[in-house]
Amino acid sequence: NAGVTQTPKFQVLKTGQSMTLQCAQDMNHEYMSWYRQDPGMGLRLIHYSVGAGITDQGEVPNGYNVSRSTTEDFPLRLLSAAPSQTSVYFCASSYGQNRHYGYTFGSGTRLTVV
């Protein structure tokens, strides 16, 4: 099925560990972004990309890295996990010319850092 696929769905990390959250879309969308969702905080933008090879920081980029080597994939790397990074992470994508029509979201990765 076409859409945005995120893996894993759940993850528990120890403080200081690193990991990569995967995001892939098969809709040929140029625009991709990562959000984190915390209770009462809504969604906050971490990083985004307007095309392969181009990334930029969002509202809360510290502690996260991204890369965009292909149009399909936009992984999010946690360099050294901290309890403050416990959250639900969403990847979203949009087709360039129609991006004003809204974004398609993945089902999320629930991350707990202990």
Partner 1 sequence: GEDVEQSLFLSVREGDSSVINCTYTDSSSTYLYWYKQEPGAGLQLLTYIFSNMDMKQDQRLTVLLNKKDKHLSLRIADTQTGDSAIYFCAESESGGSYIPTFGRGTSLIVHP
Q: How far is the CB of 20 from partner 1 (least distance, A)?
A: 19
State the Cα–Cα distance between residues 92 and 33, nearest whole angstrom.
5
**Cβ distance to partner 1 smaller for residue 4 or 78:** 4
Lay out the sheet containing 76-78: strands in order across.
4-7, 19-25, 76-78, 64-66
Burial call 3-12: b when 16+ CB within 10 Å, e when fewer: ebebeeeebe
- One of 11, 19, 43, 75 touching partner 1 (CB under 8 A): 43
User: Scanning residues 49 to 108, which ones bind partner 1 (CB under 8 A)?
Assistant: 50, 58, 90, 92, 94, 99-108
Binding site for partner 1 (CB under 8 A): 4, 31, 33, 35, 40-43, 45, 48, 50, 58, 90, 92, 94, 99-108
